[in-house]
Chains A and B, each alone.
Chain A
Amino acid sequence: NAGVTQTPKFRILKIGQSMTLQCTQDMNHNYMYWYRQDPGMGLKLIYYSVGAGITDKGEVPNGYNVSRSTTEDFPLRLELAAPSQTSVYFCASNERARNYGYTFGSGTRLTVV
């Protein structure tokens, strides 16, 4: 069971470039989330989804977009990369009925230069 898989693991972008961070889970979880973590800080919620076709903003959504066309996939899109988006991005999922907390991916380290 792979859990939550994120790709790529590392990426360097130039200012103004765009990219998509991929997130896939194989646990059939309805709920999926994107967080960012700046150095020495806690995680901040960017976007979340409660099921295919449904997404909503979190604490820090500006500069990002998401889509949820399937239960398994929840990609995060950066349209015009800025240095302030340099961070580690984590995708997570959970199944509310089990109350076992979130399962996180291993993260994508993004540097915008």
Chain B
Amino acid sequence: LAKTTQPISMDSYEGQEVNITCSHNNIATNDYITWYQQFPSQGPRFIIQGYKTKVTNEVASLFIPADRKSSTLSLPRVSLSDTAVYYCLVGDINNNDMRFGAGTRLTVKP
């Protein structure tokens, strides 16, 4: 299983773009990168998933460089409601043992 490293916490202000980087130096060929968002007292919510280059959906963008040893979740123009913990997971999508690290606690201030 690929080990991931994320910042423990980040602060931002409303309207700013937030970039959260995840390091995964030992990512394997079949591994995908998946990000989840978790609000207090709720289960994690799937945000975005990618394998290489760039993926964009209505919520976020995911940037993956050619070597795939890191990835960056980009949240455009954050609001107070984006305050949450964000988890980066790396693994084969056919692997049943997907492990969550401690995540990055994002605090958006007014």
Give A contacts to B, CB under 8 Å: 4, 31, 33, 35, 40-45, 48, 50, 56, 58-59, 90, 92, 96, 99-107
* Residue on A nearest B51 in the bound complex, by CB: A99
Inter-subunit contact B46/A100 (CB<8 Å): yes
A-B contact pairs, 22 of them (CB 8 A): A41-B102, A42-B87, A42-B101, A43-B44, A45-B97, A48-B97, A58-B97, A59-B97, A59-B99, A90-B43, A92-B43, A99-B32, A99-B49, A99-B93, A101-B36, A101-B49, A102-B36, A102-B98, A104-B44, A105-B43, A106-B43, A107-B41
- Report the Cα distance A106→B45, complex, angstroms: 10
Inter-subunit contact A107/B102 (CB<8 Å): no
- Report the Cα distance A60→B87, complex, angstroms: 20
- Report the Cα distance A11→B101, complex, angstroms: 26
B81 interfacial contact with A, CB 8 Å: no
Residues of chain A within 8 A of B49, CB atoms compared: 99-101
**B5-45 Cβ-contact flags toward A at 8 Å (1 or 0):** 00000000000000000000000000010101000011111
Give B contacts to A, CB under 8 Å: 32, 34, 36, 41-46, 49, 87, 93-94, 96-103
* Residue on B nearest A4 in the bound complex, by CB: B43
Inter-subunit contact A45/B43 (CB<8 Å): no
Inter-subunit contact B102/A40 (CB<8 Å): yes
The count of A-to-B residue pairs whose CB atoms sit within 8 angstroms is: 58
Complex A-B, nearest 4 residue pairs according to Cβ-Cβ distance, in ascending order: A104-B43, A101-B46, A42-B100, A43-B100
Inter-subunit contact A102/B93 (CB<8 Å): no
Residues of chain B within 8 A of A33, CB atoms compared: 96
Residues of chain A within 8 A of B41, CB atoms compared: 106-107
- Report the Cα distance A112→B93, complex, angstroms: 34
- Report the Cα distance A87→B96, complex, angstroms: 22
* Residue on A nearest B101 in the bound complex, by CB: A42
